[in-house]
Amino acid sequence: MSKIHVFNAGPCLLPQVAIEHAREALLDFKGTGVSLISISHRTKEWEETMNETRALWREILNIPEDYETVFLGGGASLQFLYVAMNYLEKKAAYLDTGVWAHKALKEAQGIGEAYAIACSKDRNYTYIPKGFEIPTDLDYLHITTNNTIYGTEIKHDMDCPVPLIADMSSDILSRRVDVSKYELIYGGAQKNAGPAGVAFAIIRKDSLGKVSRYIPTMLDYRTHLDKESMFNTPPVFSIYVMNETLKWLKSIGGIDAIHEIDEKKAATLYAEIDRNSLFTGTAEKEDRSIMNVCFVMAPGYEDLQDEFFAFAKSKGMIGIKGHRSVGGFRASLYNACTQEDVEALVATMKEFEALKK
């Protein structure tokens, strides 16, 4: 069988070294003789892992001292509710750039006044809205920096006259971020930061405690800040693999190194999509994501879609089917995906074109 090349949108491909270390820890965590998934989270060895994981986040992203990172269950989808519970007092605005941004807005609307400040649904979310005005009376503006389903991405840290909150689930750790421009950055780990089962939240500590409503204990970010993410039993396995993934990222040169790698991977695949007569990209070029490359069969070749799926699978390509809501193809090029993987996909596309032309 040919080598497997994984392009899953999530759970993502993880660094092999992180997987190997996790396998070892499942049998014996740090020489304790106890499995990682049986260890007490109150042991010295686990507390060391938690402290190290927070320190790695701070070092890799250059997180300022007045921010702290917490690790939570429930994924980014539960964070949609956390955000509104902790920050929405009078009115909030959301940039609606896709399914996940819209779901985040819906959760906020169940708590208070929230609306879409701009929306790209008119062209099936294939672009990032620009030139919209941001009222200064908002509690916050919420953005989703990368849209996995449609393959668009906000690639810079915007200047914002109100507190800025960002869901960075699918592009965190792929570029340098000016954390000081955000009140809160959050996301699910299962793209670049680790396996499913844990979410991260990078919180400016003095931003909390400003809403008048009662916040349920488990939905109050302060609960988890005060207890260093261990108010209740944390998802130890997911956090451990996150720790190993961060150590891998640091070992290869950190954010600047991985950004260069990620940009090269994306440029390689987009160049083939633009060249190949059988395929066409879906996102507007200026807003193309370097994490999720979305494309379809070119006009006149739509009937070849299933045939290409089967051909690509025979060549070891895994996870290139587009989201069920939009169809087509999607190759997710998260950090652990390699240039070799991308070049194998490009070779497959070229071979398929040669067979059909």
Residue 294's φ and ψ, nearest 5 degrees, are -110, 135
Determine whether 248 is an active site residue: no
Please give the C-alpha separations between residue 87 and each of 73, 102, 119, 226, in angstroms, as whole numbers.
Answer: 19, 18, 22, 18
The active-site residue out of 46, 96, 139, 167 is: 167
Determine whether 341 is an active site residue: no
The active-site residue out of 46, 96, 171, 191 is: 191
How far is residue 298's CA from residue 346's CA, in Å, rounded to a whole number?
16
Please name which of 312, 268, 305 lies closest in space to residue 290, comparing C-alpha atoms. Answer: 268
Contact assessment for residue 195 and residue 241, using Cβ atoms and an 8 Å cutoff: yes
The active-site residue out of 46, 57, 100, 248 is: 100
Classify strands 91-96 and 113-119 as parallel, antiparallel or unpaired: parallel
Determine whether 57 is an active site residue: no
How far is residue 34's CA from residue 47's CA, in Å, rounded to a whole number?
15
Give the DSSP H/E element, type plus range, for residue 153.
Answer: strand 152-153
From the number of C-beta atoms within 10 Å of its C-beta (0-12, 13-18, 19+), residue 36 rates as buried
Catalytic (active-site) positions: 100, 167, 191
